[in-house]
Amino acid sequence: MRIATSEFYSTSLATMENQQSQLLQIEQQVSSGVAISNPGDNPLGAAQAVHLSSTSATLTQYASNQSTALTSLQIEGTALTNITTTLQSINSIASEALGGSLNDTNRAALAKQMEGYRNELLSYANANDGQGNMLFSGFQKTSQVFTDTAGKGAQYNGDSGQRVIQVNDTRQIAIGDSGSSVFLSVQPLGSQQVPAGSATNTGTGVIGAVTVTDPTAATNGDSYSIGFANDPVTNALTYTVTDNSAVPPTTTAAKPYTDGAAISLGTGMNVTISGTPSGVVTPPAVVGDSFTVTPATAAANTNVFTTIDNMIAALNQPSQDNATATATYTNAMTTGMAALSNSLSNVITIQASVGGREQELQALQTVTSNNALQTTTDLQTLMSTNMTAAISQYTQVQNSLSASQKTFAQTQQLSLFQYINP
C-alpha cells in the first residue's frame, strides 16, 4: 500500500499532538490534585460527582434542619418543665385547701398564692423561642397566644396547627405543640372522670372521686347526673341517676340514699356522696340538689385556666361556719383538682413526646453526620488525583511521545534521492 508523504506527516503530527495533550492534562491533574476539571476529562466520573455533590448539599441542609428542630424542641421542653412544676404547685395548694381545717382568711391567702402561680402559668403559655416565634401559637403569628380574661380563664388566639420540618428524605418532625393541645385539652385515655356539685345546691352533700370498677364498660365515657328528691309518701331522701349520653337519656328508678354509699354509674363506675343533700324540689326543677360526673374530655373540663380560676373563686368565697357554703366550696375544689390532674397528665404526656422527638433527632444527627462524611470521602476519592497512577501514566505517555518523535525524525530522513545520489 502506498502512503503519501503528506498523509504520513499528518498522522505523525496528530499522534504527537495527542500525546502532548495527554501530558499537559496529566501535569495539570498532578499539580492541582484534581482528577476531573471538566466533564470531558471523565464523563462517567463527572456524572457521579454531580450526584455526590447534590447528595452532600442535601445532607448539609438536613443537618441544619435537625439542629434547628432540636433547638426548638429543647426550648419547648424547658417551657413544659416549668409548666409542669407550676401545675404541681397549684395542685399542692388545692390539696392543702381541702386537707385542713381552714378559715376564710386562710383560704383567701391560698387563693393569692394560687393566683400568683396562675399568672406564672400564663406567662409560660405566652413564651417565645428568643427569636420572636411564639412557642404555643400553632401556625399563627401573634404577639400574645393567650389573653387573660380576669377570672374567666384565658382566650386562645392561636390555632391547632403543628409546625413541622423535613429532617431526612422520608421524615418530617413536629417542632412545636399548639396552645390548644397543651392548655385546652386532656388525653382521652388515662384521664379520670370529673365529679361536680351544682352551685345552687342547698344541702350539705359532698361528692367524692369516681371509682372505675370495670375499665371495659362501654358506658364509662358517658355523662351522668344524680338528682335528689324526697319520697312523696315517706319523705325519705332518694336519688336517681340519668345517663345524659344515651339517646334518649335514661333515668333509673328512685333509690333510697345512704350517706357515703356507692352510687352506680352505668355498669363500670360508681361514686360516693356524703352529707345530706337537699331533696326539696323547687319548680320548675324536677329534682332538689344535683351532681354530675362528666368525661375528662368534656369542654367544661379541659381549659386549665378556667379550672384554676374556678378554684380561686371557690377559695375566695366565704364559707366559714356555713355547712351549705362549705359543701359548695368542697365540691368546687374536688372538681378543680380532678380537672387539674387531667391537665397535668396531658402536659406530662406532651413533655414525654417532646423528649422522644429530641432523642429521634439526636439519632438522626448521628446518621446524617456519618452519611455526610462518607459522601464527602467518596467525592474526594472521585475528584482527587491518584498520584501513583498519574505519575505512572505520565511516564508511559512521555516515553511514547519520545518514541514517536524519534520515529518521525528517522522516517523523515528516508528518501529515494539518497540512493540516486549517494
Give the Cα separation of 364 and 370 in Å (integer).
10
Shared-domain flag, residues 207 and 308? no
Q: Identify whether residues 108 and 156 lie together within a single domain.
A: yes
Using an 8 Å Cβ cutoff, are 290 and 93 in contact? no
115-136 residue pLDDT tens:
999 999 999 999 988 787 889 9
Model pLDDT for residues 212-242, shown as the tens digit of each residue = 999 999 999 999 999 999 999 999 999 999 9
Q: Work out the pLDDT band at 400, boundaries 50, 70, 90.
A: low
| Within-domain flag for 405 | no
Q: Are residues 161 and 309 in the same domain?
A: yes
Encode pLDDT of 130-177 as tens digits.
787 889 999 887 778 999 987 788 999 998 888 899 999 899 999 989
In a domain, 24, yes or no: no
In this structure, what CATH number is given to the domain that contains residue 83? 1.20.1330.10
Same domain, 368 and 339: yes
Report if residue 113 sits inside a domain.
yes
- 83-115 pLDDT, tens per residue? 999 999 999 999 999 876 889 999 999 999 999
Instruction: Flag whether 185 is in a domain.
Output: yes
The total number of structural domains in the chain stands at 2
Judge if 137 and 215 occupy the same domain: no
* pLDDT exceeds cutoff 60 at 416: no
Same domain for 300 and 288, yes or no, is: no
Contacts of 49 (CB under 8 A, 6+ apart): 36, 379, 382, 383
Check pLDDT > 60 for residue 328.
yes
> Are 207 and 292 contacting, i.e. CB atoms less than 8 angstroms apart?
no
As a whole number of angstroms, the distance between CA 396 and CA 399 comes to 5
Residue-averaged pLDDT of the chain: 85
Range of the domain at 173: 36-192+296-383
Q: Do 211 and 324 have their domain in common?
A: no
For the segment 37-54, the average pLDDT, to the nearest whole number, is: 65
Name the pTM for this structure.
0.81
The mean pLDDT of 251-277, rounded to a whole number, is: 96
Q: What is the DSSP letter of 252?
A: P
The neighbour count for residue 414, using CB atoms within 10 Å, is: 9
Question: How many other CB atoms are there within 10 angstroms of residue 256's CB atom?
Answer: 11
Residue 410 domain-assigned (yes or no): no
